[in-house]
Amino acid sequence: MGTFKEKKQRVEFIAVGSELLSPHFLETDSLYLSEKLQELGWRLSFKTVVGDSLEELKEAVRIARQRSWLIFISGGLGPTEDDRTRQAVAEVLGARLIFNKAILEKIRQRFESRGLRMTPSNRRQAYVIEGAEVLENPHGTAPGLWLESRKQIIVLLPGPPSELKPMVDNLVLPRLRKYGEVKVLRAVLRITGAGESFIEDRIKPVYKDLPKNLQLITLASPGDIQIRLEMTAASQPERDVRTFNRIKNRIVRRLGPLVYSTQGQSLEEVVGEKLRAAGLRLACAESCSGGLLAHRLTNIPGSSDYFLEGLVTYSNQSKVRELGVPEELLASKGAVSEEVARVMAENLREKSGADFALSTTGIAGPGGGTPAKPVGLVYTGLAFPGGSTVLRNLFRGNREQIKFQATQKALDMLRLKLMEMEKRDS
Amino acid sequence: MGTFKEKKQRVEFIAVGSELLSPHFLETDSLYLSEKLQELGWRLSFKTVVGDSLEELKEAVRIARQRSWLIFISGGLGPTEDDRTRQAVAEVLGARLIFNKAILEKIRQRFESRGLRMTPSNRRQAYVIEGAEVLENPHGTAPGLWLESRKQIIVLLPGPPSELKPMVDNLVLPRLRKYGEVKVLRAVLRITGAGESFIEDRIKPVYKDLPKNLQLITLASPGDIQIRLEMTAASQPERDVRTFNRIKNRIVRRLGPLVYSTQGQSLEEVVGEKLRAAGLRLACAESCSGGLLAHRLTNIPGSSDYFLEGLVTYSNQSKVRELGVPEELLASKGAVSEEVARVMAENLREKSGADFALSTTGIAGPGGGTPAKPVGLVYTGLAFPGGSTVLRNLFRGNREQIKFQATQKALDMLRLKLMEMEKRDS
């Protein structure tokens, strides 16, 4: 099944867990891994998902051993009886499982530091396949295992992404780098404010000049588009860098201010960096986005430096009490109106002492729409030093997609305003 | 590799396409297929993703033929040179590819009806593996193929979900139904308030009584655990229903109030239903959870009936101004303290007129921790008619995980209080 030369080049991934064969769960560890392998110039040849059955798991490991040089296996390292990866690999290799007291001690300490007692099941996790190197897992109880022979490397990784990712970054990639590294040039353009086909038409003229080793992938979701550029640098790296930058810059020029990031940052990161750099502060008054705007902003570490407060004024009484929206205005124009969005932003800006205030009010659905004010109608407001703006938007999608697009539009209004101010000041 | 009996029970899925091995694309056809197969009482045993290489594709098909009775292959049926599924399967089976004029005619008509001309490449799609039945594809140019022998069924399906799904529904499932349709019993227990190994130890005594046709899957993430029970009803369906319910109820009893749902609902749904049923209303005062609590509550359609408002008082000034937290208290105890969590909840309850108010204050990290108040320390508060409670929590994980656990704990405090009130009233 493949000559040695082919086998040597093949990298394969096995995800273990019956839940990953159900309709409810997608395996995502392989995406992270394949992204990281790109940095070494490697690609996966096979991905396999297998359940918790010991026999089927052993079968998958046996097949992988016959055809691949580097094998990653994620999952099945937990404390339960369903977790059989250690046993399966040991049996296929004909190796023993050896109890490792130091691992058990670490697990015990982990529990104790949280005021909890280790359970007997965790003992399973302290067994190590003979000959394996232990990969420490500071984010969970299951350590990884590294099995390297002259002909093959097998890496056992914990399934949860929060445990797998740091282990790949800190322990796996450094060990793999000695097998060769290829320079990959990469840019992730992030775009909001226009639809996929508009973007497509704008950049089409660039397509015919793409060199063969430059890959362009467009990923679109409501309110956000990504253009990923990846180029494997060839024999003349400097020339490649020039080509890559020329293409990237042509695309960025054609899209103008629709591009909010060329390095993959989220919109809340970009806006946060601008606020921090300018020493300006922000508050949010949300109705239909229901807290998502504050949630996105506060996902950024250190956001307390520029984010003062968010008021989720969901009911009309709350809009009146917290933001001083006049009851007559609510009665005459309705909560979902340009006027209410404007008052929400202006009054919060004044009350909070922030430099900027954003507001959202709209109909996230699925209920509550009328012919005059349909589901997806959202007003987004921005109050800034010296004035305010409100946009009327009609978003498509389900409730969560409408909430997301409302926050995306509000953040983008602020980004464009900050850019305008930067320009004026420079 | 497996006896015939095992092979007969195995169903496997192969997704074809190099893009599915890249970091940017997830294969989702298998989720749809596995959902539909459940209706027949079948489960996937293996999923494989393989690229466009003819050799590797043939290898995957060869392995599947050795171990499975029913094999689905999606993708690689398009008109380009990268589309090699037909050829690979034909070569593995030792069957010829036969040109089918009727298919080419259909493709030509499809192009013409859209005012386009068929390209020469589409000719590839008119080849049929000897012995295969053609599955018509009204949503694209690639027909599917159905290859049935006494021992095995191989089904070739188009990769795009918009083409695969109707083909599965209209042509594949009807053909498979003659192999038996089975009733599947299903429950999804959702649990919070204890760790995976604690839960595991509590329910371990039930494991030994699990019948063979009942599958139990545990899924754990910080702050939330799911136990999925699925049972394929056998010859005596009524007895199976009794067995299933007995097992389910034993688990629920052993876990007690840790179980917040037996039908898979989210905690915000469960809490929302209880509030709606009792005609009670809620407000939230968030610091470290930064709006996520309001966001989760407002993700539920109709939540405006019971959710009045959320105040994300991120800065100290905001806590003073919006919630009347005394400045002396902030100075003496710090914003992250039991006392501040209590005042936040109590004052918001009073101010908003809600029946309940929840609060969170803590250190989400990665910065801001001290030995006395480490990252992950979160106080969650609940003010209710007649009193208030505050819990001190020490959560693990990254910033977003700590935010999530803070909201999960706050919601759970409210759930337990609502249960207590229901009990008292009944």
A residues 221-280 closer than 8 Å to B (CB): 228
**Nearest-by-Cβ selection for B312 from A20, A38, A310:** A310
Rg (CA), chain B: 28
Over 50: is that where the pLDDT of A373 sits?
yes
Q: Which residue of B has its CA nearest to A321?
A: B352
Task: Quote the CA–CA distance of B312 and A137 in Å, as a whole number.
Answer: 34
Determine whether A354 is exposed, middle or buried from the number of CB atoms within 10 Å of its CB (0-12, 13-18, 19+).
buried
Over 50: is that where the pLDDT of A232 sits?
yes
Amino acid at A219: L
**Nearest-by-Cβ selection for B318 from A34, A309, A317:** A309
**Nearest-by-Cβ selection for B291 from A60, A162, A298:** A298
Task: Compute, in degrees rounded to 10, the torsion defined by CA atoms B176, B180, B185, B186.
Answer: -20
Cβ of residue A316 closer than 8 Å to a chain B Cβ: no
Query: What are the residues facing A184 on neighbouring strands?
Result: A232
Task: Quote the CA–CA distance of A135 and A142 in Å, as a whole number.
Answer: 9
Class of the CATH-defined domain B4-179:
alpha beta
**Which one of A97-111, A193-207, B266-280 scores highest in mean pLDDT?**
B266-280
Over 80: is that where the pLDDT of A214 sits?
yes
pLDDT at A1: 38
Amino acid at B197: S
Which residues, in sequence order, are CB contacts of B303 under 8 Å at separation 6+?
A: A290, A314, B272, B297
With cut-offs at 50, 70 and 90, classify the pLDDT of residue A2. Answer: very low
Is there a contact between A135 and A145 (Cβ–Cβ < 8 Å)?
Answer: yes
Which of chain A's residues have a Cβ under 8 Å away from the Cβ of B399? 299, 301
Q: Say whether A23 and B1 touch across the interface (CB within 8 A).
A: no
Domain ranges within chain A, ordered by starting residue = 4-179, 184-261, 267-425
Q: Say whether B197 and A79 touch across the interface (CB within 8 A).
A: yes
**Which one of A157-161, A421-425, B213-217, B238-242 scores highest in mean pLDDT?**
A157-161
With cut-offs at 50, 70 and 90, classify the pLDDT of residue B6. Answer: very low
pLDDT (mean) for B178-201: 87
Amino acid at B32: Y
ipTM of the complex: 0.80
Over 80: is that where the pLDDT of B15 sits?
yes
| Residue B298 tokens, joined | 């407002």
Task: Quote the CA–CA distance of A272 and A260 in Å, as a whole number.
Answer: 12
pLDDT at A207: 86
Q: Which residue has the higher pLDDT, B115 or A366?
A: A366
Q: Which residue of A has its CA nearest to B55?
A: A2
Secondary structure letter of residue B139 according to DSSP: T
Q: How far, CA to CA in Å, does A14 sit from each of A44, A147, A155, A166?
A: 11, 15, 10, 19
Best CA proximity match to B384, nearest among B283, B291, B313 = B283
Query: What are the residues facing B156 on neighbouring strands?
Result: B73, B145
Query: Which of A229, A309, A347 is the best substitution to test chain B (most B C-beta atoms within 10 A)?
Result: A309
Amino acid at B210: L
Place of tokens 């990161």: A269
B residues 71-130 closer than 8 Å to A (CB): none
Cβ of residue B351 closer than 8 Å to a chain A Cβ: yes
- Phi/psi of residue B210, nearest 5 degrees: -70, 125
Can you say whether residue A66 is alpha, beta or left, with left for phi > 0 and alpha for psi between -120 and 50 degrees? alpha
Q: How far is B99 from chain A (nearest CA, A)?
A: 31
Task: Quote the CA–CA distance of A319 and B375 in Å, as a whole number.
Answer: 34
Which of chain A's residues have a Cβ under 8 Å away from the Cβ of B35? 23
With cut-offs at 50, 70 and 90, classify the pLDDT of residue A88. Answer: very high
Best CA proximity match to A171, nearest among A149, A151, A130, A143 = A143
Q: How far, CA to CA in Å, does A69 sit from each of A6, A47, A284, B108?
A: 9, 14, 53, 45
Average pLDDT across chain A, whole number: 92
pLDDT at A325: 98
Cβ of residue B54 closer than 8 Å to a chain A Cβ: no
CATH of domain A184-261: 3.30.70.2860
Task: Quote the CA–CA distance of B306 and B279 in Å, as a whole number.
Answer: 8
Q: How far is B107 from chain A (nearest CA, A)?
A: 26
Task: Quote the CA–CA distance of A205 and A214 in Å, as a whole number.
Answer: 15
Amino acid at B158: P
Q: Say whether B219 and A293 touch across the interface (CB within 8 A).
A: no
Cβ of residue B156 closer than 8 Å to a chain A Cβ: no
Is there a contact between B124 and B85 (Cβ–Cβ < 8 Å)?
Answer: no
Q: Which residue has the higher pLDDT, B308 or B425?
A: B308
Place of tokens 């030994």: B208
Task: Quote the CA–CA distance of A233 and A243 in Å, as a whole number.
Answer: 10
* SS3 assignment, position B158: coil
pLDDT at A197: 79
Task: Quote the CA–CA distance of B134 and B125 in Å, as a whole number.
Answer: 11
**Nearest-by-Cβ selection for A162 from B21, B367, B401:** B401
Pairs of residues, one from chain A and one from chain B, whose beta carbons lie less than 8 Å apart: 247
Burial B306-326 (b: 16+ CB within 10 A, else e): bbbbbbbbbbbebbebbbebe
Q: Which residue has the higher pLDDT, B215 or A389?
A: A389
Cβ of residue B307 closer than 8 Å to a chain A Cβ: yes
Rg (CA), chain A: 27
Is there a contact between B235 and B219 (Cβ–Cβ < 8 Å)?
Answer: no
Task: Quote the CA–CA distance of B275 and A281 in Å, as a whole number.
Answer: 36
Over 70: is that where the pLDDT of A139 sits?
yes
pLDDT at A235: 64
With cut-offs at 50, 70 and 90, classify the pLDDT of residue A3. Answer: very low
At residue B260's C-alpha, the angle toward residues B255 and B266, to 5°, is 140
Looking at domain A267-425, what is its CATH homologous superfamily?
Answer: CinA-like (3.90.950.20)
Is there a contact between B231 and B240 (Cβ–Cβ < 8 Å)?
Answer: yes
Q: Which of A3-7, A375-379, A403-407, A411-415 has the lowest mean pLDDT?
A: A3-7
B residues 159-178 closer than 8 Å to A (CB): none
- CATH of B278-425, picked from 2.160.20.10, 3.90.1150.10, 3.90.950.20, 3.40.50.300, is 3.90.950.20
pLDDT at A67: 93
Query: What are the residues facing A313 on neighbouring strands?
Result: B309
Burial B277-297 (b: 16+ CB within 10 A, else e): eeebbbbbbbbbbbbbbbbbb
pLDDT (mean) for B72-100: 93
Q: Say whether B298 and A309 touch across the interface (CB within 8 A).
A: no
Q: What is the DSSP string of A178-247?
A: GG----EEEEEEEE-SS-HHHHHHHHHHHHTT--TTEEEEEEEETTEEEEEEEEE--S-HHHHHHHHHHH
Q: Which residue has the higher pLDDT, A121 or B411?
A: B411
| Residue A115 tokens, joined | 């005021």
Query: Which of A28, A38, A266, A318 is the best substitution to test chain B (most B C-beta atoms within 10 A)?
Result: A318
Q: Say whether A50 and B45 touch across the interface (CB within 8 A).
A: yes
Same fold, A4-179 and A267-425: no
pLDDT (mean) for A402-409: 98
Amino acid at B269: E
Q: Which of A37-51, A90-104, A217-231, B5-19 has the lowest mean pLDDT?
A: B5-19
* SS3 assignment, position B182: coil
**Nearest-by-Cβ selection for A162 from B32, B312, B397:** B397
Query: What are the residues facing A309 on neighbouring strands?
Result: A283, B313
- Per residue in A149-186, pLDDT tens? 988 999 999 999 999 999 999 999 999 988 866 777 88
Amino acid at A82: D
Query: Which of B1, B3, B21 is the best substitution to test chain A (most A C-beta atoms within 10 A)?
Result: B21
Which of chain A's residues have a Cβ under 8 Å away from the Cβ of B296? 291
Best CA proximity match to B77, nearest among B144, B167, B169, B146 = B144
Query: What are the residues facing B385 on neighbouring strands?
Result: none
Cβ of residue B200 closer than 8 Å to a chain A Cβ: yes
pLDDT at B68: 94
Which of chain B's residues have a Cβ under 8 Å away from the Cβ of A2? 59
pLDDT (mean) for A18-25: 87
Q: Which of A79-93, A111-125, B336-350 has the lowest mean pLDDT?
A: A111-125
